[in-house]
Amino acid sequence: MAKGQEKTRYSDEELQEFKKLILEKIEVAKTSYDQLMQRIQTDESRNSFNMLEEGAATMEQEEASQRAARQLDFIKKLQAALVRIENKTYGVCRVTGKLIPKGRLLAVPHATLSVEGKEIEQQKKKR
């Protein structure tokens, strides 16, 4: 790479590092999702005659359902990141076209925006 030339994509080795991280996160998220779904199904099959208990159980079930939905959304975002890795477009900000810093991707591996790109999007929403 010539001096002063900006890197436009991550190397194949770096992409493989990210892929490994994402696959690990998917496994953890799937395990958590499965546990939540099992809990929801167990709660649904349990009958309660006490109204207070029933209300609390319903609230807990709703919270578990919301967590399960968030977990499923997270899994989908991670799977989409794997597709970007295969396409060699992973880590490129969809707003600026610049590389998202490696530290940000390690913290948020499904990120599609750099901090700069996120700020640009927020400015557009304010208008």
* pLDDT tens, residue order, the chain (127 aa): 444 557 889 999 999 999 999 999 999 999 999 999 998 887 666 555 555 566 777 788 889 899 999 999 999 999 999 999 999 999 999 999 999 999 999 999 999 999 999 999 999 888 8
Considering the entire predicted model, what is its pTM? 0.81
What is the pLDDT, as a whole number, of residue 13? 96
Three-state SS for 73?
Answer: helix
CA distance 29 to 77: 11
When computed from its CA atoms, the radius of gyration of the chain, rounded to whole angstroms, is 20
Three-state SS for 126?
Answer: helix
Residue pair 74/110 in contact (Cβ under 8 Å)? The answer is: yes
Three-state SS for 92?
Answer: strand
CA distance 18 to 92: 13
CA distance 22 to 106: 9
**Measuring CA to CA, which residue among 102, 95, 101 is closest to residue 118?**
95
What is the pLDDT, as a whole number, of residue 1? 45
Phi, psi of 74 (to 5 degrees): -60, -45
What is the pLDDT, as a whole number, of residue 70? 96
What is the pLDDT, as a whole number, of residue 43? 66
